[in-house]
Amino acid sequence: MDEKDAQLREAAEKLALTLSESGMQKTTARVMTALLFSRQEAMTAADLCEELRISSGAVSGAVKQLIPTGIIERVPAPGSRRDHYRFREHAWATLMGNQNALLSSMWDAASEGIKVAGKDSTPGRRLDEMQHFYGFMQREMAALIDKWLEQYDTDKG
């Protein structure tokens, strides 16, 4: 049984590494994947310190990033004064939804450039394609996430 724990921890660390390569802070990613792969329903900050061998300050910082994005949540822990943290349901859909903010700022950047240079300029033509692309993606991505949520809840529901 300890074998499994080791394998799960390894898989968690591997994913954390991938996520950190895509821009997420390393410790934040490690906290996230620790909660995702944990055999426990929820973990305390102390659990995370021990599991990941990091300080309580580091856990606090990671949690502070993860909660507002909707990836994890604090969960009431009857009979304990320690905060418990748990991976949120539909966290992935939330995470992808947050990406929409990025798509939106890409659209904005293109729009800004077009305003200055005009559509019929060298940069204008490039920016026009960019704006078209991100406008499209923003609309479609939102629809896609809704579609998944609906579909998944129906399957499980």
Partner DNA sequence: GCAAGTTTTCAGAGATTATTGAACACTCAG
Partner DNA sequence: CTGAGTGTTCAATAATCTCTGAAAACTTGC
Contact status, residue 29 vs residue 95, Cβ threshold 8 Å: no
- With binding defined as CB under 7 A, does residue 145 bind DNA? no
Number of Cα atoms under 13 Å in the Cβ half of residue 25: 11
Task: Determine, following the binding rule CB under 7 A, whether residue 33 of this chain makes contact with DNA.
Answer: no
User: Scanning the structure block, which residue is given the tokens 């479609």?
Assistant: 140
Answer yes or no: are the C-beta atoms of 74 and 130 closer than 8 Å. no
When binding is defined by CB under 7 A, the residue of 5, 41, 64, 105 that contacts DNA is 64
Out of 8, 9, 26, 73, the only residue in the binding site for DNA (CB under 7 A) is 26
Residues between 8 and 67 that touch a second copy (CB under 8 A): 8, 11-12, 14-15, 18, 21-24, 36-41
Which one of DNA, a second copy, none interacts with residue 73, CB within 5 to 8 A by kind?
Answer: none
4 counts as binding a second copy under rule CB under 8 A: yes
Structure tokens at 118: 């005009």
Q: Which of 18, 40, 60, 99 binds DNA (CB under 7 A)?
A: 60
Q: Which residues pair with 150 in a beta bridge?
A: none
- Does residue 148 sit in helix, strand or coil? helix
